[in-house]
Amino acid sequence: MKKVITYGSFDLFHEGHYNILKRAKALGDYLIVGVTTEQYDESRGKLNIVDSLDKRIENVRKTGFADEIIVEDHPGQKVEDVQKYGIDIFTVGSDWTGVFDFMKQFCEVVYLERTKNVSSTILRTQNYPIIRIGVIGTGRIAVRFVPEAKYVSGVIVNSVYNVNLESAKEFGEKFELDLYTDNLEEFFENVDAVYVASPHETHYEYAKMALERGKHVLCEKPLAFRKTDAEELFRIAHEHGCVLLEAIKTAYCPGFVQMMGIAKSGVIGNICDVEACFTRLTAPEMRERKDVLYGGGFTEFGSHTLLPIMKLMGTNYKEVRFDSVLDEKGIDLYTKASFVYEHGMALSKSGVGVKSEGQLVISGTKGYILAESPWWLTQYFEVRFEDPSKKDRYFTKFLGQGLRYEVSDFAYMIQGHRGRSFKFTEEESIAMAGVMEKFLAKRERERLEKQAEIGG
**pLDDT value for 122:** 43
Assigned domain for 202 exists: yes
CATH of the domain at 69: 3.40.50.620
d(CA 405, CA 256): 11
**pLDDT value for 128:** 64
Beta-carbon count within 10 A of 382 CB: 14
The verdict on 240 and 208 lying in the same domain is yes
Assigned domain for 356 exists: yes
Beta-carbon contacts of residue 366 (< 8 Å; ≥ 6 apart):
267, 268, 269, 385
Q: Which residues pair with 368 in a beta bridge?
A: 363, 384
The verdict on 22 and 144 lying in the same domain is no
Per-residue confidence in pLDDT tens, the chain, 456 aa: 999 999 999 988 888 899 999 999 999 999 999 999 988 888 777 888 888 899 999 999 999 999 999 999 998 999 999 999 999 999 999 888 999 999 999 999 999 987 766 544 344 445 567 899 999 999 999 999 999 999 998 899 999 999 999 999 999 999 999 999 999 999 999 999 999 999 999 999 999 999 999 999 999 999 999 999 999 999 999 999 999 999 999 999 999 999 999 999 999 999 999 999 999 999 999 999 999 999 999 999 999 999 999 999 999 999 999 999 999 888 999 999 999 999 999 999 999 999 999 999 999 999 999 999 999 999 999 999 999 999 999 999 898 999 999 999 999 999 888 778 899 999 999 999 999 999 999 988 887 877 777 765
Which of 56, 87, 112 is where one domain is finished?
112
DSSP H or E run through 456: none
CATH of the domain at 377: 3.30.360.10
Beta-carbon count within 10 A of 197 CB: 24
Which of 54, 86, 112 is where one domain is finished?
112
The verdict on 325 and 431 lying in the same domain is yes
The structure's pTM equals 0.84
The verdict on 433 and 299 lying in the same domain is yes
The verdict on 126 and 68 lying in the same domain is no
The verdict on 425 and 277 lying in the same domain is yes
| DSSP letter, residue 152 | B
Whether residue 222 has a cis bond before it, omega within 30° of 0:
yes
Amino acid at 243: V
The verdict on 78 and 125 lying in the same domain is no
Amino acid at 91: T
Which of 112, 131, 152 is where one domain is finished?
112
**pLDDT value for 130:** 86
The verdict on 411 and 354 lying in the same domain is yes
d(CA 99, CA 236): 42
The verdict on 193 and 293 lying in the same domain is no
**pLDDT value for 121:** 39
Assigned domain for 456 exists: no
The verdict on 330 and 435 lying in the same domain is yes
Assigned domain for 379 exists: yes
The verdict on 198 and 300 lying in the same domain is no
The verdict on 347 and 425 lying in the same domain is yes
Structural domain count, the chain: 3
Q: Which residues pair with 72 in a beta bridge?
A: 36
DSSP H or E run through 94: none
Tell me the residue range of the domain where 74 lies.
3-112
Beta-carbon count within 10 A of 59 CB: 19
Assigned domain for 447 exists: yes
**pLDDT value for 154:** 87
CATH of the domain at 148: 3.40.50.720
Assigned domain for 297 exists: yes
